[in-house]
Structure 1
Amino acid sequence: MHDRTDITYNQDVSNRAAGSWLRPMVARSGTEPHRAATPLELLFDLCFVVAVALAGMSLHHAVSEDHIGDGTVSYLLVFFAIWWAWMNFTWFASAYDTDDVPYRVATLVQMAGVLVVAAGVPRAFDDRDFVVVTLGYGIIRLALAGLWLRAAHSDDAGRTTALRFAVGITTCWAGWIVLLVLSESVYLLGFLLMVAAELSVPVWAERAHATTWHPRHIAERYGLFTIIVLGETILAATAAVQAGLDAEHAYAASDGLTALAVSALFVVFSMWWLYFDHPAHRFLSGTNRNAFLWGYGHYLIFSSAAAVGAGLAVAVDYATHRAHIGSGIAGGAVTVPVAVYLLSVWLLHVRPHRRGTRYDAGFPVTAGAVLAATATPWPFALPLTAVATTALVVACHISPQWINHYEQQQPGRG
């Protein structure tokens, strides 16, 4: 991924603004100053969030109808297609964004592909029919393979890497097509094998020549997508509360809905705070291994963040007597994804900074407390989750001062 050797990107900014329709697709510098997300990338993210929202909505309905196992599996499978397609283009764009006409058209084609994926999400959940999702995924991936071929043509230093990406993406796409004709009994195993193949392509390709992605740009892109996913979580919770207020038993449950809504805000605000409290670009400036772990690990962050929104909607359904589940499942629909989110942020954003054992321990302890809240009587699981996550935010800001004060009081210190 990241080549620490500075490769000069000789591109005149004024000429870039003037808008040439075709530019050589040469590698950009990983140390380029003032690199930021482009309007095209932001539009790209918004298209992907449509698919994320539909996946979360489908998970919500599956859990509320007590189809927990099938719904969770379908959610994880669909979310992999969404996340992997988004991630691959994000890293490619960081290294090779030319912002010319063919590049923009290829990006717009990928946006069309993700909308096809989004259209196929309900079928994937209801009928385990992944044909539409697979076709949309193929549109995205083949458009990206075309961009890699452009890079191979223009960038002599990165030609082997670019060709490996193009070959790997195309080969994996053929594998997904074969997967469609397999029986349902072996589909999950085949899917896992294809996931392993997809994840191995960047590792194999980058061994030839590391691409010159930009650490700050990548950190910003991931941060922006996190914000959008959290925004969808708030939207899902708000829509669920609104629907709950219109339900038959809404008056009797109005106090509970208020508590759920307030707790949901505290949980989501805490999730945002904890993610952005630790800058990622410094960690990304290290080795390729760090970059792979950080980039791949965000599957857990993104999927759990989106699942929190689905869980909040499930909790509202239960409070208004519209869910066919018990109180433990209603609470767990929120506590489990929140705990996964906390542990993922801890592993990817906190531990790399090596803030000390006392500081680091707060995240797994809080995740354990959130999971334990699942066993509490309804409706205490969500308020307790809000208290725990908010307390973690407070502790993350107070504990460094306490630790410094404690160490200064020790003999031989200060």
Structure 2
Amino acid sequence: MRGAAFSLLRRKGERAQVTQVELFFDLIFVFAVTQVSEFLRAHMSVLGGFQGAILFASMWWSWVYTSWVTNWIDPEHRPVKLLMLGLMFCALLLAASIPEAFGTRGIGFAIGLTVMSLGRSAFMLWALKQHDFGNYRNFQRIFAWLAAGSVLWLAGSVVDEQQRLWAWLVALLIDLLGPANGFYVPGLGRSTTNDWRVDARHMAERCAAFVLIALGESITVIGASFSELRWGDATFAAVVSALFAAFCLWWIYFNDAAERTAYAFAHARDVGKIARAGYTYAHGLLIAAIIMMAAGDAFLLDEPTEFARVGQSVLLLGGPAAFLVGNGVFRRLLHPRFPASHVWGLGGVGLLAVLSPYCTLLVMGGGVALVLVLVIVVSNLLVMRA
């Protein structure tokens, strides 16, 4: 395979700016996030939650891999713009298949995912071959791992639901474990995090943008439900608590963590290690948490005075708990310790979990909002004392 005649890489020494085509690409994932949230609401069972987790993780992995790629190659070049357009079509097929991914649209989901993964990696091999041998060798390893997973994604799409679940679970584990193992391939060796020269500010901005996408899904759920429901005291109270909880998530991430952590990330000794652990893995948990809360908000707004069922409690309480864990791990990677404010918040969520059988959805939603306020207050008090 001949490489690109001219370099498509970003210029060394210049900050990698987030481009318009990257933001345009993200619009597809607004739809994908909505699809995952609706899947969770429609499949309120242990099996449904397991399936939803697989669908979400594969979607997130497709997006984050693309963000790594655009950290290295310049989207202002026409071939890269065309790549992004092609990836958007694949992402649309993937997202549109999510509601029936474990039914009649499994093949569509698998094709969208595998073409996106292998097409993106093949493009990088072409773009890097004559211009960055170290990263070229890295993408040879990445392609091998993704190809192994793709066989199982495609094979799983043509078998029955139970077999598909296990085939896709193994495929997902292959995809997720690749970076943690340095994409080790016999004969090609493994990558180290020091090999992954990352523009920290670009990676931080891209992941922050996806957090906004997920929070946008929360706002969409709140607004759409509020406009369709019969208005009353309980409805207004539910809307206030759901919107306030979403605002608290924004505050905890953007006001208390994102900028300071991005600065520390940019000045870290091993930027590649932080990019892998904090922005690839930990941010996935953050996004999953916000999607869970959005799904729970839909039940909160529809039935505020009803007592919470187990599945609804898992969404309403599991979401903030996962967010606090994910954000705490993210901050711990660049700061001395896991934030004490998040420990207090997890304790508050635990107390709500104990009381949940006796709570209406409205009481539980209000409790979640108060716990998140507690996290913000404790965090700011600790900052003032420091």
The TM-score, its normalising length taken from structure 2, stands at 0.86
Structure 2: distance between partners of 1:367 and 1:227: 23
2:101–2:109 CA contact under 8 A, matched in 1: yes
Distance, in Å, in 2 between the alignment partners of 1:380 and 1:256 is: 10
**Match of residue 398 from structure 1:** 381
Query: Which AA in structure 2 matches 1:391?
Result: L
Distance 2:310 2:359 in 1: 8
Does the CA-based 8 Å contact 1:331-1:382 persist in structure 2?
no
State the alpha-carbon separation in 2 of the partners of residues 70 and 244 from structure 1: 30
Per-residue CA deviation, residues 216-248 of structure 1 (Å, 9 max, x unaligned), is 110111001101110111111221222322xxx
| 1:280 matched residue in structure 2 | 261
Q: 1: distance between equivalents of 2:273 and 2:124?
A: 22
Please list the CA deviations of residues 326-382 of structure 1 after superposition, one character each: whole Å capped at 9, or x if unmatched.
Answer: 545434431221111111111112564126775563343344345345344213101
Confirm whether residue 210 of structure 1 aligns to residue 195 of structure 2: yes
Per-residue CA distance 1:85-126 (angstroms, 9 max, x = gap): 00101011102225211111111110111111111112126x
Shift of the alpha carbon at 1:272? 0.9
Amino acid at match of 1:393: I
Quick check: 2:21–2:75 contact (8 Å CA) kept in 1? no
Aligned to 2:161: 184
1:211-226 to structure 2, matched below 5 A, reads 211-226=196-211
Distance 1:302 1:358 in 2: 22
CA distance in 2, matches of 1:317, 1:189: 34
Query: What displacement does 1:392 show?
Result: 1.2
Alignment of 1:125-274 (within 5 A): 127=103, 129-154=105-130, 155-202=132-179, 203-204=182-183, 207=191, 210-245=195-230, 254-274=232-252
User: 1:371 aligned to 2:353?
Assistant: yes
Could you tell me whether the CA contact under 8 Å between 2:33 and 2:214 is conserved in 1?
yes
Secondary structure of the corresponding residue to residue 319 of structure 1: coil
SS at match of 2:329: helix
> What residue in structure 2 maps to residue 343 of structure 1?
325
Q: Report what 1:330 is aligned to.
A: 312
Question: More displaced, 176-185 or 226-235?
Answer: 176-185
- The letter for the 2-side match of 1:133 is F
Counting matched residue pairs gives: 366
* Residues 1:83 and 2:60 are matched in the alignment: yes
Instruction: Give unpaired runs (5+ residues) of structure 1.
Output: 1-20, 246-250, 405-414
Give the Cα–Cα distance (whole angstroms) in 1 for the partners of residues 345 and 308 of structure 2.
28
- For 2:187, the equivalent position in structure 1 comes to none
1:54 aligned partner: 35
Distance (Å, rounded) in 2 between the aligned partners of 1:171 and 1:332: 34
Which amino acid is the alignment partner of residue 84 of structure 1?
W
* Structure 2 equivalent of residue 382 of structure 1: 365
Seq. identity, %: 23
Name the structure 2 match of 1:7.
Answer: none
- Equivalent residue in structure 2 for 1:353, among 305, 311, 335: 335
Amino acid at match of 2:284: Y
Structure 1 residue 114 and structure 2 residue 100: aligned? no
**1:124 pairs with 101, 126, 149, which one?**
101
Q: Equivalents in 1 of 2:195, 2:367: separation in Å?
A: 46
CA distance in 2, matches of 1:71, 1:45: 26
**Residues 51 and 118 of structure 1 are in contact (CA less than 8 Å); yes or no, is this contact kept in structure 2?**
yes
Q: How far off its partner does 1:312 sit?
A: 0.3
Contact 2:30–2:214 under 8 Å retained in 1: yes
Check conservation: 2:329, 2:338, Cα contact below 8 A: no
List aligned pairs for 1:22-33, cutoff 5 A. 23-26=6-9, 28-29=11-12, 32-33=14-15
Check whether the contact 2:149–2:174 (CA below 8 A) recurs between aligned residues.
Answer: yes
Q: Deviations over 1:4-26 (max 9, x none)?
A: xxxxxxxxxxxxxxxxx984134
Q: Which amino acid is the alignment partner of residue 24 of structure 1?
A: S
Contact 1:275-1:349 within 8 A present in 2 as well: no
Structure 1 position 43, deviation (Å): 0.8
Report whether the alignment pairs 1:289 with 2:266.
no
Q: Structure 2 vs 1, CA of residues 329 and 174 (structure 1 numbering), >3 Å: closer, same or farther?
A: closer
Inter-partner Cα distance in structure 2 for 1:242 and 1:52: 21
1:45-80 deviation digits (Å, cap 9, x = unpaired): 1111211111112222333xxxx2233122111111
User: Tell me, what secondary structure is at the counterpart of 1:207?
Assistant: coil
Q: Deviations over 1:186-235 (max 9, x none)?
A: 33332222122112333226617713221111011100110111011111
**Alpha carbons of structure 1 residues 98 and 265: separation in structure 2 relative to 1, 3 Å:** closer
User: What amino acid does structure 2 have at the position aligned with 1:96?
Assistant: I
For residues 156 and 124 of structure 1, the distance between their equivalents in structure 2, rounded to whole angstroms, comes to: 38
CA distance in 2, matches of 1:330, 1:132: 30
| Equivalent residues of 2:155, 2:167 under 8 A apart | no
Task: Say if 1:128 and 1:51 are closer, same or farther in 2 by CA, change over 3 A.
Answer: same
**More deviation, 160-169/214-223:** 160-169
The TM-score normalised by the length of structure 1 is 0.80
Q: Which segment drifts farther, 35-44 or 84-93? A: 35-44
CA contact (8 A) 1:264 1:312 kept: yes
- For residues 61 and 182 of structure 1, the distance between their equivalents in structure 2, rounded to whole angstroms, comes to 22
Q: Distance in 1 between matches of 2:354 and 2:73?
A: 46
Alignment RMSD (CA, Å): 2.6
Q: Which blocks of at least 5 consecutive residues in structure 2 are unaligned?
A: 185-189
1:9-20 equivalence runs, <5 A: none
